[in-house]
Amino acid sequence: MKRDFSLGEIAAYLDAELHGEPDLRVRALNTLQDAQAGELAFLANEKYVAHLGESRAEAVILSQKHAVVLMSGATVKNYKGALLIVANPYLGYAKISAWFDRSPQPSAGIHPTAIIDATANVGENVSIAANAVIDADVVIGAGSTIGAGCFIGARSVIGQGAHISANVSIYHDVRIGRNSRIHSGSVIGADGFGFAPNGAGGWQKIHQIGGVQIGDNVEVGACTTIDRGALGDTCIGNGVILDNHVQIAHNVVLGDNSAMAAYSAIAGSSTVGRNCIFAGDAAVVGHLTLCDGVTITARSLVTKSITEPGSYSSGTPLMPTREWRKNAVRMSHLDDLAGRVKSLEKDKG
């Protein structure tokens, strides 16, 4: 992989105004605090402005607003490096991060130990790593990468340019869109959790005969599960980003560009809109509908449908355990307490 880049080519890619020498080269991306000579940094958060003065970065990506402060010399007069002025420095950092990614390139072609069914359809420029197992009638889109030890079940389709990391399990009848990425340990298309009481105290399995549809440009973290539908498919929109340990149950519909942090979950048959954000461990119980643009804060549990965009929360604040014990006892008697207050008000009246 090419390992250094000129400020000129970076400025062109980021549509940045460059104050500095275009032929100067940077070999790594780093934080303002840690960047050394020859490294590129960025300033995206007001609270790091003070670090700019001491930064040794060769160049920094920043906004016009901060560049003005810098050039005025007011607080950060010591910074001597080049400036790459962009409208949105955090987005600029995100975009240029790909250039400095040292991830090993997957080997071209199909490893001799990969087991690929004769009926599978493998596109051009596909990399399939050692010990991957590809079942009947699978379609692997051009330019995609299948990691070591992956299993892909019959009739599943992997979109062009998709990247499946090692040891991912994809069941049958799963469709994964273009340029989507799935991290190790994740399981797509396992059976939804569907059982009917059998009338004798036990459970009758409901066979899960739907599939899974995952859109384009989706990212799925590690050890995340997306279950197949009971009847019809579980559907993940385009541009969705899922962190590690996420659970998407059967027949969930999740709208485009929604984001779910670690452990967040949507239970069976719930529909969540576009551009929703779930902080860590936020969860939605089954059979609900959430409109577009809903944010759920960390560890909150959604037990009713939401029709208004906005931020929603549940939970209690952290306290020293000794204080928490006293308060928690009161939580168990809150209805009684409210009744007593009402009674006092009545007496007063």
106, with CB counted inside 10 A (0-12, 13-18, 19+), is middle
Question: Shortest approach of its own copies to residue 53 CB, angstroms?
Answer: 20
- Under rule CB under 8 A, which residues in 150-179 are in contact with its own copies? 151, 153-155, 165-167, 169, 171-173
CA 127 to the chain's CA centroid: 24
307 binds its own copies (CB under 8 A): no
Size of the site for its own copies (CB under 8 A): 139
74 or 349: whose CB is closer to its own copies? Answer: 349
Question: Shortest approach of its own copies to residue 39 CB, angstroms?
Answer: 10
**Active-site residue, 163 included:** no
Active-site residue, from 245, 250, 287, 333: 250
By CB under 8 A, which span of 7-15, 49-57, 73-81, 314-322 interacts with its own copies? 314-322
Question: Shortest approach of its own copies to residue 209 CB, angstroms?
Answer: 5
1 binds its own copies (CB under 8 A): no
335 binds its own copies (CB under 8 A): yes
69 or 241: whose CB is closer to its own copies? Answer: 241
Amino acid letter, residue 3: R
Taking CA atoms, 349 is separated from 336, 338, 344, 345, in Å, by: 20, 17, 9, 6
25 or 172: whose CB is closer to its own copies? Answer: 172
71 or 291: whose CB is closer to its own copies? Answer: 291
Distance CA 282, CA 288 (A): 14
Contact 210, 226 (CB under 8 A): no
By CB under 8 A, which span of 17-25, 59-67, 72-80, 330-338 interacts with its own copies? 330-338
- Under rule CB under 8 A, which residues in 94-123 are in contact with its own copies? 94-95, 97-98, 100-104, 111, 113, 115
Strands 59-62, 39-42: pairing kind: parallel
Contact 211, 230 (CB under 8 A): no
- Under rule CB under 8 A, which residues in 14-43 are in contact with its own copies? 29-31, 34
The contacts of residue 11 (CB under 8 Å, 6+ apart) are 17, 18, 22, 84
Strand ranges of the sheet holding 109-110, from the earlier edge strand across to the other edge: 109-110, 127-128, 145-146, 163-164, 181-182, 219-220, 241-242, 259-260, 277-278, 294-296
- Under rule CB under 8 A, which residues in 208-237 are in contact with its own copies? 208-209, 217, 219, 221-223, 225, 227, 230-232
Q: Three-state DSSP class for 19?
A: strand
Distance CA 16, CA 6 (A): 13
23 or 310: whose CB is closer to its own copies? Answer: 310
- Segments of 202-240 assigned E as strands: 203-205, 212-214, 219-220, 225-226, 234-236
8 binds its own copies (CB under 8 A): no
283 binds its own copies (CB under 8 A): yes
270 binds its own copies (CB under 8 A): no
Q: Tokens 């910074």 correspond to what residue?
A: 79
Question: Shortest approach of its own copies to residue 152 CB, angstroms?
Answer: 9
Binding mask 44-73 for its own copies (x = CB under 8 A): ------------------------------
243 binds its own copies (CB under 8 A): yes
CA atoms lying within 13 Å on the CB side of residue 212: 28
98 or 142: whose CB is closer to its own copies? Answer: 98
Integer-rounded Cα Rg, in Å, for the chain is 26
142 binds its own copies (CB under 8 A): no
Distance CA 222, CA 234 (A): 19
With left for phi above 0 and alpha for psi between -120 and 50, is residue 6 left, alpha or beta?
beta
By CB under 8 A, which span of 6-14, 58-66, 118-126, 335-343 interacts with its own copies? 335-343
Catalytic residues: 250
